[in-house]
Structure 1
Amino acid sequence: MKAGLFFVALCTSLALWAGPAPWYKWHSNAADYEVCAQTSPGDGWEIVKGPFQDSHCQKLGMP
């Protein structure tokens, strides 16, 4: 019982140290279109610039 509570408390405290994910500028191979996102918008998209600190893809660097 105590070991289980310790494990839950440990996992919770480690999650508090996690930082935000970086943002990237993605370009569509099918159309001349770019978006700013943390993960790939889907098939046919490739990273053209990044990482960025903000959701507007203006501040270069890791968050």
Structure 2
Amino acid sequence: MKKTLLIALGLALAGPVVLNAAPAPWYHWHSKSTGAIVCSQTPLGEGWARADGPYRDARCEKPLPAK
């Protein structure tokens, strides 16, 4: 009984967090050595600097609305 109650309580508390989850934003990244620009959700390494963003899509075409 206690185990079932704890599981139910855990699911009830975790539910809103899971339902409000959103994908990570996308950014344009600029290569410091070649000048290339790519779209990625994560940093590409030391040789790259974030150029602009955030965007909603993997092509970096749809900007996220300002909050």
Shorter-chain TM-score tier: 0.7 to 0.9
Which is helix-richer, 1 or 2?
2
Runs of 4+ in 1 over 6 A off after TM superposition: none
Q: TM-score, normalised by structure 1?
A: 0.77
How many residue pairs match? The answer is: 62
Output the TM-score relative to the length of structure 2: 0.74
Unaligned runs of 5+ residues in structure 1 are none
> 2 CA distance for matches of 1:17 and 1:60?
20
Q: Which runs of no fewer than 5 residues in structure 2 stay unpaired?
A: none
- More relative contact order, 1 or 2 (CA 8 Å, 6+ apart): 1
- Provide the alpha-carbon RMSD of the alignment: 1.7
